């Protein structure tokens, strides 16, 4: 019954007129949206209406939440959902936004099992349950340049997708069970290659932060899939193909200028 009521509410939201002011915000702050075909834009606007209805936004560090902040973040989060049956990040309840990069506690365990505690500046983080935390400055800068391979919203919401099976391990829920073997092989091989190249000081296409662990590899690969799709397809075609099958999008064809 609850599922039926939720879907009924979502259908009503999809039928609402998208506010013109919100559309202007999306086109100004998220230039990626300008290149979507009309059908994708309509789907994205419907998804944004649902996302903003279901998720809570909280300002931190003195930041006051505005429609500009909410729409800019929601649009990017919902780009990852296009063309796919989705439950709109079901474990996510709040998006916490700081005005700038923020300081967060961190625990690091070395090879001897010794845990060191300290503080680390962050642009964003994604919790397995409950929240995504973002720096507004970095949300804007990440969205503004659609070709630099860096987008903090894509990155943190890829973690949300990854965590939907209860584990943030670089293996999100796939639509077909037969996809898991190829996914594990391709992403595992590319992760190991990035790990080795990083250790040897070699130049890499993907940001070397992806060598931290398989979860970060998937999030970094997602950023590059949407922001440097032609380079990713040319240099790492198997990885590109796995992400294309997962996201059901082909940005290398859509954004020919990238």
Closest CA to 36 of 24, 44, 46: 44
Residues 152 and 219 in one domain: no
Q: Taking the CB of residue 122, how many other CB atoms lie within 10 A of it?
A: 17
For all residues of the chain together, what is the average pLDDT?
92
Q: Which two tokens stand for residue 226?
A: 């949407």
Q: What is the pLDDT of residue 110?
A: 41
Residues 177 and 255 in one domain: yes
Query: Where do we find the tokens 């070699």?
Result: 202
- Domain final position from 138, 164, 190: 164
- Residue 59 CA to residue 27 CA, distance in Å, equals 23
Gyration radius of the chain over CA positions: 18
Strand order in the sheet with 124-126: 56-59, 92-98, 130-135, 124-126
Residues 116 and 207 in one domain: no
Residues 84 and 201 in one domain: no
- Domain final position from 123, 140, 164: 164
Residues 159 and 195 in one domain: no
What is the span of the domain harbouring residue 231? 169-258
Give me the sign of the Cα torsion angle 25, 17, 47, 59. positive
Please check whether residue 82 is in contact with residue 39, taking contact to mean a CB–CB distance below 8 angstroms.
Answer: no
49 pLDDT above the threshold of 90 = yes
Residues 155 and 39 in one domain: yes
Residues 18 and 107 in one domain: yes
Residues 35 and 79 in one domain: yes
The predicted-structure confidence for 226-250, as pLDDT tens digits, reads as follows 999 999 999 999 999 999 999 999 9
Residues 136 and 45 in one domain: yes
Q: Which residue has the higher pLDDT, 134 or 6?
A: 134
Q: What is the pLDDT of residue 104?
A: 75
The predicted-structure confidence for 102-147, as pLDDT tens digits, reads as follows 877 665 544 455 454 555 777 899 988 899 999 999 999 999 988 8
Q: What is the pLDDT of residue 258?
A: 44
- Domain final position from 164, 185, 215: 164
Closest CA to 83 of 247, 243, 225: 247
The predicted-structure confidence for 187-232, as pLDDT tens digits, reads as follows 999 999 999 999 999 999 999 999 999 999 999 999 999 999 999 9
Q: What is the pLDDT of residue 111?
A: 45
Closest CA to 29 of 76, 62, 66, 61: 76
- Structural domain tally of the chain? 2
Query: Where do we find the tokens 């990885």?
Result: 239
Residues 92 and 189 in one domain: no
């Amino acid at each position: 019954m609850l599922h039926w009521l939720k879907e009924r509410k979502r259908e009503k939201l999809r039928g609402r007129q998208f506010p013109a002011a919100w559309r202007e915000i999306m086109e100004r702050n998220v230039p990626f949206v300008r290149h979507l075909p009309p059908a994708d834009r309509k789907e994205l606007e419907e998804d944004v209406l649902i996302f903003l209805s279901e998720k809570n936004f909280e300002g931190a560090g003195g930041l006051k939440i505005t429609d500009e902040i909410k729409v800019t973040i929601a649009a990017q989060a919902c780009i990852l959902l296009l063309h796919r049956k989705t439950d709109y990040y079901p474990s996510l309840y709040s998006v916490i936004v700081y005005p700038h990069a923020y300081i967060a506690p961190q625990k690091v365990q070395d090879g001897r099992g010794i845990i060191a505690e300290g503080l680390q500046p962050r642009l964003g983080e994604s919790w397995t349950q409950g929240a995504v935390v973002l720096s507004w400055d970095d949300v804007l800068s990440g969205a503004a340049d659609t070709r630099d391979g860096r987008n903090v919203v894509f990155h943190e919401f890829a973690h949300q997708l990854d965590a939907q099976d209860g584990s943030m391990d670089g293996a999100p829920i796939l639509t077909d069970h037969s996809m898991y073997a190829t996914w594990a092989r391709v992403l595992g091989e590319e992760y190991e290659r990035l790990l080795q190249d990083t250790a040897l000081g070699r130049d890499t296409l993907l940001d070397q932060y992806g060598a931290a662990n398989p979860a970060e590899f998937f999030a970094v690969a997602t950023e590059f899939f949407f922001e440097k799709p032609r380079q990713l397809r040319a240099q790492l075609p198997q990885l590109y193909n796995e992400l294309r099958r997962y996201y059901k999008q082909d940005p290398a064809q859509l954004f020919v200028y990238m």
